Chains A and B, each alone.
Chain A
Amino acid sequence: MNELSILGRRLPKVNSWAHLTGQAKYADDIMLPRMLYGRLLHSTQAHARIKKLDVSRALAYPGVVAIVTGADMPEKMGIMPSTQDETALAVDKVRYVGEPIAAVAALDEDTAFEALSLITVDYEPLEAILSIEEALAREDVKIHDDSTRGNVFKEVHLSFGDLEAGFAKADHTRDDWFFFEGNTHAPIESHSCVANGEANGNVTLWTCTQVPHYLHRELEKVLGVPRARIRVIATPNGGAFGGKSDPFAHEFAACLLALRTKRPVKFTLDREEVFYAHRGRHPVKMRLRTGVTKDGEITAVHFQSWLDGGAYASYGIATTYYTGALLTVTYRVPAYKFDGVRVYTNKPPCGPKRGHGTTQPRFAFEAQLDKIATDLGLDPLAYRLRILQPPNSRTVNDLRITTMGLGECLERAGRATDFSARHRQLPPGKGIGIAGSAYISGAGLPIYWNEMPHSGATVKIDRGGGVTVYCGTAEIGQGSDNMLASITAETLGVLPEDVHVVSGDTSLAPVDLGSYSSRVTFMAGNATKDAAMKLREQLGTVAAEQLGVPVEQIRSAYRRFYDHEHPDAFMSFTDVAVAAEARFGTLSAAGWYKPPTGIGGTFKGAGVGPSPAYSYQACVAEVTVDRETGVLTVDRIVTAHDCGRALNPANVEGQIEGSAYMGYGEIIGEEQVFRGGLHKKPSLLDYKIPTSLDTPKLEAIIVETIDAEGPYGAKESGEGPLNPVIPAIANAVYDAIGVRFDETPITPDKILDALAKKKDRVGPTGLDGGRDPKAALRRLTASTDARERKRDA
């Protein structure tokens, strides 16, 4: 094995220049001759039957070229084949305000917009279900007919080990309720696509998607056009974070309109439409019961989650399982029971957001561990270090753990902040908190059942020493193109800039399942390495022959093949490539990766949770609370992350910091909330993503554990580092003001209210008494009415 020449270095990303200079071509930058502009008509009703949909006046409007409606594409679709409950455009019924109903293609955007107002929709309004409690209770209103209990989408129950014995052994049991408010990805690039209807009946779709392959499959199904005639090209995503990993209405509409008009059709969503497309973090209500011995050893955990799924399935079945699956991989849990319920409500569908399904329970678990530490008088850092799940072990729910760097993460984050000396010692209003967490490096199973590789790559060498890597991954800003170039360059002995990357194109590149669940570096990295190794062998063979040394002695780096013992004896990469092509024929090789079997259990539901490797993280947050205004300032966030090996430390740090920023936003104020069925804040002015002025000092610490199965030892770093930030801040707020926030976000009004009422805890106490937005609205209206009357009198 070579010493590493590329990996581990802080090299600039191969696509940085294009992004910095504005040359990167996002979907909305694509302009084609004769292109039409599309706009979607959205439902104004949260829940209603469509009695009549009449597009004739809009179709007659000058400049309108074509219109499609739900009836044109009635085929059910959805990202998870087992729970397909969506149609491209609403058919018969609408289930949330903002749901797409029809799509207009016109000569320009203004015309398309104006035409929307000429479409007549007659609704028969139905009662809207807006909360988890209502969804569970109401048998009389069904958002989807196939819900057997209330509006339950999915219910799962899993049990491992002897729970009763575990609780019986416990000296101390905590039973806490939590609520995690929903929030959304807010990528700066809004969703955009261009479909081109070609003369031969083929269609090409450029779109900012995280999942070109899955989208390809759904397009075939919905359009009724064979996949061979559809080409999907994932454009660079200007941020995605999970929000572009479903097939979307505008993508189907663009393709159908393009096929019908034989012209290119572009859709770019406006910001409000992005909020309706959503697929963001589920609001989750949670109950967590944990038994511990008097020194804190966990004896049993019972976790229950209720997820508010919004109107459709999206990834919901996976999300539901994920709320329960990964609680066991961080600390020793000998007995574990998990009950999860996801319900439908009349709100935009929830789906995966960075940390998919694991963020909410991690908040609950780490907040509760902090309480346990307080109850038992333990230092929360030392306590966590004492109960770690060991490396190379199996969890109670049968997950295989390999490398495990949580201990080192906790220690290093603690050391960097002098945590144990300062915790409980800071002046009033100042606090410090800690939390740990974990995430998967890709899911063990694909979304649709098959036995093929999860990722494939082809590497080809040309006669001038240039290298091209083809892989179906989607570049969403996380650096996957750079990862492909770096692994190829490292393996062959060239530089990343010598490698041309062709990614995200279903016609050119082998399948990769997509940029979700932090799978790309691990899986596409291994596939690329596999392909490049095959060529490396051929090159090594001819280099050894020509240099007259044994092949084991041959190394390659910096565009040279050389004798390890006598580095002066070398050949240029190009000369070796030419000799190898003469000897072996065209230099091209395919590689692939499929996660090993046996990394998870065999019970029903065991499919979600297993991963070829888990990443680990710890975070220490420092906060200041202004007790008079309730303003919470996060002064510093230090996050340590075990990424296996940092293939590019600068990129890993970028992911750690970006995750910390995002987690910070979720706990401090971001919320996807509704007033009646209407989104309360569908704009970037009202939906409060933090600005650069708000963002605390972020510090990233890289912990390396060199995973035996990861490409060159790497694991994920795109999502996990978000998870510990949220509970660390909540725990720091407790340290600062003695109030436990068992719900997110922690806003100034909640802080003021808690301090005024001398509450020591803010959060739900059960399922009932939960927030019913309508009730709140009624109360509010009544009180403002009363006040107005008083003032007038």
Chain B
Amino acid sequence: MLRLPRFQLHTPATVEDAALLLREHHAAEQDGAKTGTPGITVMLVAGGTDLYPNMKRRQFTPSTLIALGRALPRGIQNGGLRPAGPLPLGVTIGAGATLAAVASDTRVLSGYRALAESAIAISTPQLRNMGTIGGNLCLDTRCNWYDQSLFWRMAEGMCMKTDPSVVCRVAPSSPRCLAVASADMVPALLALGASARVVNSEGERVIALADMYRDDGISHLTIGRDDIVTEVILPPADGWRSTYLKLRDRGSFDFPIVGVAAAVRLDGGIVREARLAMTAVGSRPMLVAAAAAALIGSRLEDDAIAAAAAAAHKIARPMDNTSGTIAQRKKTVPVFATRALASLREN
């Protein structure tokens, strides 16, 4: 069995303590961007289902881990950004909520179907009991040249994601890492218009999830290494219908090689608002803006859906660094977009 490297574990009781600890250790760290992952000496851990396997393979060898288990909220409750008034409240989900809790929550199941469907489609029952929604938002990007043991990567000669001075193995001339955004919940949350509450030692802020990702396999998050995600905020569910479709090799266990989430707000059968989001076809999860444009005002007729699906197809950029093939994944994008949208029609 692969064993974890040695590290020191902190278990702060509050998010504030965690943020202070993080800043303190982070300040002592060298510039990770220059030295690659070996330079990262402090990290957050929630469920550990992404980080610990990575540490076993020595993608990361932080000497300090700050565990968020005690500090993070994990409740799922009514609430949200827009205060009460004519509009009903949305739902907030503590970043420490497990995938299993999200998948089985009745509010999520009734109002935010895509989220429940994406949660239940993640890995295995055991991992869903450990993994958190906050960890899923911050999931490292994946690449089958990179998600390998230290031995394997040494035999290969490493790549840019571990060591900035080396090329990308997938596309040696690429100036950036092309590792793949692989979190299932993120496209669902993008389609649902979610935001995240982020805390650091300076204070807290709310950012739209759509602004949290960058098209870069190495620094794929726009939030800083001092930031802690504490809450996911969902807008009111009224009139919205949503769904998530995932392409993977097996019925369990596997990361998405295409993920498509669709959400529409229907009013009298007419689409008033729409969002189509994808993952696993680029280094960042994507909202397909042109798809929304094609759908709004339609009654989800075949040609509106076809136009939306074509828009998704156009911007999907799978690379040869997951299982499956580029062609297969690219072809599946419009098929899933079509199927997802068609399933949202009112009967």
Contacts and interface: CB of A to CB of B under 8 A. Distances in A.
Interface of A: 42, 44-45, 97, 109-110, 113, 190, 268, 270-272, 628-630, 669, 678-683, 685-686, 688, 690-694, 747-749, 752-753, 756, 780-781, 784-785, 787-789, 792
Given A44-B155, A272-B149, A749 B250 contact: no
A752 B331 contact: yes
Contact of B174 (A109, A694, A788): A788
A271 B53 CA distance: 13
B43 to A, nearest CB: 20
Closest CB pairs A-B (n = 7): A693-B251, A44-B155, A749-B328, A749-B325, A784-B171, A628-B335, A691-B252
A375 B282 CA distance: 46
B173 A788 contact: yes
Most buried by B among A271, A747, A752, A788: A788
Contacts of A680: 144
B122 to A, nearest CB: 13
B202 interface: no
Given A785-B171, A785-B173, A789-B173, A678 B156 contact: yes
B327 interface: yes
A784 B170 contact: yes
A785 B253 CA distance: 32
B192 to A, nearest CB: 25
Given A44-B154, A110-B6, A629-B332, A688 B149 contact: no
B151 interface: yes
Contacts of A678: 152, 155-156
Nearest to A630: B328
B28 interface: no
Given A630-B328, A685-B253, 13 more contacts: A629-B247, A629-B328, A629-B331, A678-B156, A688-B249, A688-B254, A691-B250, A691-B251, A749-B327, A784-B170, A784-B320, A788-B173, A792-B175
A781 B155 contact: no
Contact of A785 (B172, B327, B336): B172
A506 B167 CA distance: 53
Nearest to A28: B1
A688 B255 CA distance: 12
Interface of B: 1-3, 6, 144, 148-149, 151-152, 154-156, 170-175, 247, 249-255, 319-320, 323-325, 327-328, 331-332, 335-336
Given A628-B335, A785-B171, A785-B172, A669 B327 contact: no
A682 B151 CA distance: 11
Contacts of A789: 173
A505 B325 CA distance: 48
Given A781-B171, A788-B174, A694 B152 contact: no
B251 A686 contact: no
B84 to A, nearest CB: 43
Contacts of B331: 628-630, 752, 756
Given A110-B6, A752-B328, A781 B251 contact: no
A752 B173 contact: no
A607 to B, nearest CB: 39
B152 A272 contact: yes
Contacts of B252: 691-694
A42 B151 contact: yes
B156 to A, nearest CB: 6
Contacts, number: 93
A678 B148 CA distance: 11
A113 B3 contact: yes
Contacts of B3: 109-110, 113
B37 to A, nearest CB: 17
Most buried by A among B149, B253, B328, B336: B328
B163 to A, nearest CB: 16
6 contacts: A44-B151, A669-B249, A693-B252, A752-B328, A781-B172, A789-B173
B169 to A, nearest CB: 9
Contacts of A752: 327-328, 331
A190 B2 CA distance: 12
A748 B324 contact: yes
A753 B249 CA distance: 17
A399 B323 CA distance: 44
A18 to B, nearest CB: 23
A491 B252 CA distance: 46
A586 B172 CA distance: 76
A270 B152 CA distance: 13
B47 to A, nearest CB: 17
Contacts of A693: 250-252
A530 B255 CA distance: 55
B254 A685 contact: yes
B152 to A, nearest CB: 7
B173 A682 contact: no
A784 B321 CA distance: 11
Contacts of A271: 2
Nearest to B53: A685
B328 to A, nearest CB: 4
A181 to B, nearest CB: 15
A694 B324 contact: no
Nearest to A684: B253
Contacts of A109: 3
Given A628-B335, A680-B144, A748-B328, A97 B173 contact: no
A147 to B, nearest CB: 25
Contacts of B171: 781, 784-785, 787-788
Given A270-B2, A788-B171, A688 B151 contact: no
Contacts of B144: 680-681, 686
Contacts of B148: 682-683
A756 B328 CA distance: 11
B253 A691 contact: yes
A669 B251 CA distance: 13
Contacts of A748: 324, 328
A60 B231 CA distance: 50
Nearest to B174: A788
A272 B175 contact: no
Nearest to A116: B151
A190 B3 CA distance: 15
Contacts of B336: 629
Contact of A268 (B1, B149, B323): B1
A669 B253 CA distance: 15
B35 to A, nearest CB: 18
B151 to A, nearest CB: 6
Nearest to B150: A117
B250 A690 contact: yes
Contacts of A690: 250
A678 B254 CA distance: 22
Contacts of B154: 44
B323 A688 contact: yes
Given A44-B155, A272-B151, A694 B250 contact: yes
B173 to A, nearest CB: 5
B170 A97 contact: no
A113 B1 CA distance: 11
Most buried by B among A270, A271, A692: A270
Most buried by A among B151, B170, B251, B254: B151
A113 B327 CA distance: 40
Contacts of B253: 685, 691
A686 B155 CA distance: 18
Nearest to A785: B173
A540 B287 CA distance: 83
A685 B319 CA distance: 19
Contact of A694 (B1, B155, B251, B328): B251
A746 to B, nearest CB: 13
Nearest to A269: B1
Given A97-B155, A678-B152, A749 B319 contact: no
A451 B175 CA distance: 68
Contacts of A780: 320
A473 to B, nearest CB: 29
B95 to A, nearest CB: 25
